[in-house]
Structure 1
Amino acid sequence: MTSLSARIASAALIPAALGGVLALSAAPAMAQDAAFRASTFNLSAYGESRVAPDMATITLGVQNEEMTAAGALKANGARMNQVIAALKKAGIADRDIQTSNLNVNPQYAYEQNQPPKFTGYQVSNQVTVIVRDLNKLGQAVDATVSAGANTVGGVSFGLQNPDAAENAARLEAVKALQAKADLYAKATGYKIVRMVSLGEGGGYAPAPQPAPMFAMAKREMADSTAIAGGELKVRIDVSATYEVAR
């Protein structure tokens, strides 16, 4: 009986002991819950910097028609070689010239109540060009047109190294975020205890300038084409959680 009673008593102690362990292990979780139950502000803000671009990307090319696909491709290739040679002569490096589009399409004439009439093949060949010296941009466009380019696409301006502009925008974003936190704290009667988290979004992205594709006739130019780069806007978005207290 004594032995059986002892075993029963020991068994009774086990749940109590486990309860103590569970209570101890739950303490950190309760502390975390308390932290999450703290009053917080979840805020966001942004900062911007403006800077002049130091590079441009432009798309240009050659479009022509011939009765046969082979003839159209041959004529187009010969003229495009002249365009690329003109770009290199204007100071554009090989690495900054890339074929971006090549199309061969049959062409038809349509008349009312008549079957379509085949008129030949149209070949369109385009290259995307990066100009790292904006002083050469107008001259490069003029040189390619003189060499045979008859289509010019949109121009987009950018930065070769956006780090400085992004960091300036980050500083402005953090200032705006802190000012907003202080304003909310003052308006609600709270004090900022600490910043719990900080996140970032956005960043540098070159802004394309709206410029539809248009045809350019081959011509001699007394002055180089004027192209203005203006300013780029670099934006950084930030968000943060602040713990606050009365």
Structure 2
Amino acid sequence: MIMKSIATLALSALAAPALAQTMPVPVQTISGTVLDVTAEGQSTRTPDLATISAGVVTQAADAAGAMRENATRMERVIAALKRAGIADKDLRTASISLQPQYRYGENQPPVITGYQASNSVTVKFRDIGKAGLILDALVATGANQISGPDLGLDNPAAAMDEARLDAIAKARARADLYARAAGLSVKRILSISENTMETPRPLPVMMRAQGMVAEAAKSQILPGEQELRVNLSVRFELQ
């Protein structure tokens, strides 16, 4: 009988922590007035990173010839990028394609007249001021397809935090305004939810190079300014 009682006590001791873990957390009661406020915070930065797509399009009578010519010219383009100081981590193959070219005749099946090969790489420029000169070198080296840039920040964390602080300050100021108008005061924040937004990045007009080296010599990228935004929904308790 004594042994049975000891066993029962031991089981009870083991079960107690498990029961404590499953106990629901008490819900905090709200005794005052609830106010929901939406506020937008902003921060502005000059972009320090430009991403473009540069590639080569070649044509030949047969598929192998089109790919061979494309590979030769693309090798020169990549070598030019590396000579300009672009690191391997900032070069990534974007696409490679080979497509037949057709001649269409009335009431006739299409006839293959040749093949077109294309190869493009995504390039990140961390020194935007030199991007235009590098693009000119690419065209001179054999690139005949350029698009972009996509301008942004290499490390946007600090700018986003600045926008968050701006948003919460605006939300609190607005809550104080409503509370004073109602003869109340802000007691506490009940919840915060965030929606991150980003304004369209400036997209300078870029040339699509087709052997026009003289015009390419005027290429330049203007970074402008980028605005980062954070939209907060904040719930306050007023008393």
Of residues 72, 76, 82, the one that matches 2:76 is 82
The 5-angstrom pairing of residues 7-156 of structure 1 reads: 32=27, 35-36=29-30, 38-156=32-150
CA contact (8 A) 1:90 1:139 kept: no
Of all paired residues, the percent bearing the same amino acid is 42
Distance 1:217 1:89, change over 3 A: same
2:180 alignment counterpart: 186
Q: Secondary structure at the match of 1:214?
A: coil
Shift of 1:138: 0.3
Shift of 1:201: 2.7
The question of 1:195 aligning with 2:186 is answered: no
CA distance in 2, matches of 1:40, 1:175: 18
Q: Secondary structure at the match of 1:172?
A: helix
Q: Secondary structure at the match of 1:217?
A: coil
* Cα deviation code 1:5-55 (max 9, x no counterpart): xxxxxxxxxxxxxxxxxxxx9xx96xx47x246421122211111110111
TM-score by length of structure 2 reads 0.81
CA contact (8 A) 2:42 2:167 kept: yes
Query: Higher mean Cα deviation, 200-209 or 153-162?
Result: 200-209
* Cα deviation code 1:153-184 (max 9, x no counterpart): 12111111212211221221112111211222
Shift of 1:132: 0.5
* Cα deviation code 1:43-84 (max 9, x no counterpart): 221111111011100001001111211111110000000000
CA contact (8 A) 2:202 2:226 kept: no
CA distance in 1, matches of 2:67, 2:215: 28
Which segments of 5 or more consecutive residues in structure 2 lack a partner in the other structure?
A: 1-22
Of residues 162, 168, 172, the one that matches 1:174 is 168
2:13 alignment counterpart: none
The question of 1:219 aligning with 2:194 is answered: no
CA distance in 2, matches of 1:77, 1:205: 38
The residue type equivalent to 2:83 in the other structure is: K
Of residues 234, 239, 242, the one that matches 2:228 is 234
CA contact (8 A) 2:103 2:111 kept: yes
Q: CA RMSD in A?
A: 2.5
Q: Secondary structure at the match of 1:91?
A: coil
CA distance in 1, matches of 2:139, 2:101: 25
1:157 alignment counterpart: 151
CA contact (8 A) 1:154 1:208 kept: no
CA contact (8 A) 2:209 2:216 kept: no
Q: Secondary structure at the match of 1:169?
A: helix
CA distance in 1, matches of 2:32, 2:180: 18
The residue type equivalent to 1:154 in the other structure is: G
CA contact (8 A) 2:50 2:124 kept: yes
CA distance in 2, matches of 1:216, 1:231: 30
